[in-house]
């Protein structure tokens, strides 16, 4: 599932990949369901390709989202991101991912992570683990 959820630089929120055209992708906003083209000159990143820095290895975003889902019992994170201090945000991520690299993971990254998680929960897309198992099975069949 995370492979088809996209972040587009300069645009707020997350987008679902609908179709591919020549030199563009057709995406749908998760918030208002509006569809529009996203072109190759925009920085488009799949959530399945994102990882968080830790003290040892990088941890895939799906594992971080799973840990957040376990901590919050599948509900959204109840934290006001505009009023939360840097220490509050680091403490929250420390509970979810204790080994995160405090030098390379910025406060803005933590805010974005929490807002993405809340958006995915609001849209009912919380099967991170199931999607990860399907993706792993697909990769094995391709080899």
pLDDT digits (tens, 9 = 90+) for 81-93: 888 999 999 999 9
63-81 pLDDT, tens digit each: 999 999 888 888 888 888 8
Any idea where the domains of the chain sit in the sequence?
A: 1-45, 49-121
Contacts of 113 (CB under 8 A, 6+ apart): 52, 61, 64, 68, 93
Predicted model pTM: 0.83
Give the model confidence (pLDDT) of 34-56 as tens digits.
999 998 888 999 988 999 999 98
pLDDT at 130: 53
The DSSP annotation for 115-128 comes to HHHHHHHHTT---H
Please list, in sequence order, all residues whose beta carbon lies within 8 angstroms of the beta carbon of residue 54, skipping any fewer than 6 positions away.
97, 99, 100, 101
Tell me, yes or no, if the two domains 1-45 and 49-121 fold the same way: no
Q: How far apart are CA 64 and CA 52, in angstroms?
A: 8
Q: pLDDT tens digits, residue range 93-110?
A: 999 999 999 999 999 999
* Class of the domain covering 49-121: mainly alpha
CATH number of 1-45: 2.30.30.730
């Amino acid at each position: 599932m995370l492979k088809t959820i996209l972040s587009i630089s300069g645009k707020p929120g997350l987008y679902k990949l609908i179709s591919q055209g020549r030199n563009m992708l057709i995406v749908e906003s998760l918030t208002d369901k509006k569809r529009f083209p996203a072109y190759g000159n925009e920085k488009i990143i799949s959530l399945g390709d994102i990882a968080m820095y830790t003290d040892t290895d990088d941890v895939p975003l799906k594992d971080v989202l799973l840990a957040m889902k376990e901590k919050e019992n599948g509900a959204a994170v109840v934290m006001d991101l505009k009023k939360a201090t840097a220490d509050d945000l680091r403490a929250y991520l420390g509970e979810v991912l204790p080994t995160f690299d405090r030098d390379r993971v910025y406060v803005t990254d933590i805010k974005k992570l929490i807002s993405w998680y809340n958006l995915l929960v609001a849209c009912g897309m919380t099967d991170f683990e199931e999607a990860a198992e399907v993706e792993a099975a697909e990769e094995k069949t391709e080899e």
